[in-house]
């Protein structure tokens, strides 16, 4: 079987458009293929993603606005960007948004100076946030976007990989109850640090993983831990270890997504110390894929 790598336009689990590439085997299926499409079992696998044009769930227009805007300038039928209303977010959303708007990286909470902040990226932020919600000593969490240069990025823009951001979470923790080392424990328990630009079934630069430090003290803890993990694995770690950039909160529906029930309306435990399996999967699509 020969394989080629082709560019495709996909929708993510929440409907946003994104460019990707996939290896496609050039083999003749046993059953006949009719027309310009074939069943999923004869095609390449796209877990939790679907090719357009079928049943775009609403995020596509904003992504097309960004794509066409970059090519032809703003305006036109796709110029429909919807900004995030940061004032409607629960704490710590508004605090983080204000800091990002001012180009600042917070070290401690302005509302509660006893709480320290830490930023991590571990692929899709839904399950990753829930893992940190369960850590004793973690008081608040927020999903969002970091390590990019565009202001006020939306989910659709980040998924289109035009802003440079990665999906991430912000952790507010009490250093008297929770050490930065224990937060790194959670990171390495949840993340395969050898995977480049992705995690699990999710791939793309906006799913790259990393530890983004706020202070020299955090770096002093994280750097030797990365070296230790690399020695243990015997190969180079792909996860980033960098100074954090401003953190832009994600849309409200992304916040504490799995605790609130996710798409299937089945809440998952955020109780401290919970060891319940975290299931961030959404329903599979059995529809036809057009190529």
**Long-range pairs for 69-77 at CB < 8 Å and ≥24 separation?**
70/162
Highest average pLDDT, of 33-37, 71-75, 256-260, 280-284, comes from: 256-260
Q: What is the mean pLDDT of residues 229-240?
A: 96
Q: Name the token pair of 53.
A: 């044009």
* % pLDDT > 90, the chain: 66
Higher pLDDT, 23 or 40: 23
For the whole model, what pTM was predicted? 0.73
Cβ neighbors of 19 (< 8 A, separation 6 or more) are 7, 8, 9, 10, 160, 161
Q: Which of the residues are catalytic?
A: 124
Count CA atoms within 13 Å of residue 260 on its CB side: 10
Residue 233 has pLDDT above 70, yes or no: yes
- Segment 182-213, tens digit of pLDDT: 999 999 999 999 999 999 989 999 999 999 99
Q: Compute the CA torsion angle 147, 150, 152, 155 (nearest 10 deg).
A: -70
Closest C-alpha to 196, from 123, 256, 98: 123
**pLDDT at residue 18 in the model:** 54
Specify the DSSP class assigned to residue 151. Answer: S
Model confidence at 35, pLDDT cuts 50, 70, 90, reads: very low
The region of weakest confidence among 14-28, 59-73, 137-151, 188-202 is 59-73
**pLDDT at residue 272 in the model:** 98
CB-based burial label for 9 (10 Å; 0-12, 13-18, 19+): middle
Model confidence at 70, pLDDT cuts 50, 70, 90, reads: very low
Residue 60 has pLDDT above 70, yes or no: no
- Segment 39-56, tens digit of pLDDT: 333 333 333 433 333 233
Distances (CA, A) of 77 to 54, 61, 104, 166, 265: 20, 9, 35, 28, 34
The answer to whether the beta carbons of residues 124 and 200 sit under 8 Å apart is yes
Beta bridge partners of 108: 116
Q: What is the mean pLDDT of residues 50-64?
A: 37
- Segment 244-282, tens digit of pLDDT: 999 999 999 999 999 999 989 999 999 999 999 998 764
């Amino acid at each position: 079987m020969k394989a080629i790598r082709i560019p495709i336009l996909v929708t993510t689990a929440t409907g946003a458009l994104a460019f990707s590439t996939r290896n496609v085997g050039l083999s003749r299926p046993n059953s006949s293929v009719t027309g310009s499409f074939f069943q999923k079992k004869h095609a390449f696998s796209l877990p939790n993603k679907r090719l357009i044009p079928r049943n775009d769930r609403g995020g596509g227009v904003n992504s097309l606005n960004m794509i066409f805007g970059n090519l032809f300038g703003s305006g036109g039928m796709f110029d429909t960007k919807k900004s995030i209303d940061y004032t409607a977010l629960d704490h710590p959303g508004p605090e983080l948004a204000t800091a990002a708007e001012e180009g600042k990286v917070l070290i401690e909470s302005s509302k509660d100076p006893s709480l320290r902040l830490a930023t991590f990226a571990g692929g899709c932020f839904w399950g990753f946030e829930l893992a940190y919600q369960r850590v004793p000593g973690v008081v608040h969490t927020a999903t969002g976007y970091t390590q990019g240069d565009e202001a006020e990025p939306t989910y659709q823009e980040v998924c289109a990989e035009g802003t440079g951001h990665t999906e991430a979470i912000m952790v507010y923790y009490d250093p008297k109850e929770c050490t930065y080392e224990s937060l790194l424990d959670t990171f390495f328990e949840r993340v395969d640090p050898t995977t480049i630009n992705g995690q699990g079934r999710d791939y793309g630069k906006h799913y790259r993983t990393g530890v983004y430090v706020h202070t020299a003290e955090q770096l002093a803890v994280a750097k030797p831990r990365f070296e230790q993990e690399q020695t243990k694995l015997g190969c180079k770690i792909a996860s980033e270890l960098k100074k954090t950039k401003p953190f832009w909160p994600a849309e409200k529906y992304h916040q504490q997504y799995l605790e609130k029930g996710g798409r299937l309306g089945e809440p998952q435990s955020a109780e401290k110390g919970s060891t319940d399996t975290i299931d961030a999967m959404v329903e599979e699509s059995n529809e036809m894929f057009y190529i």
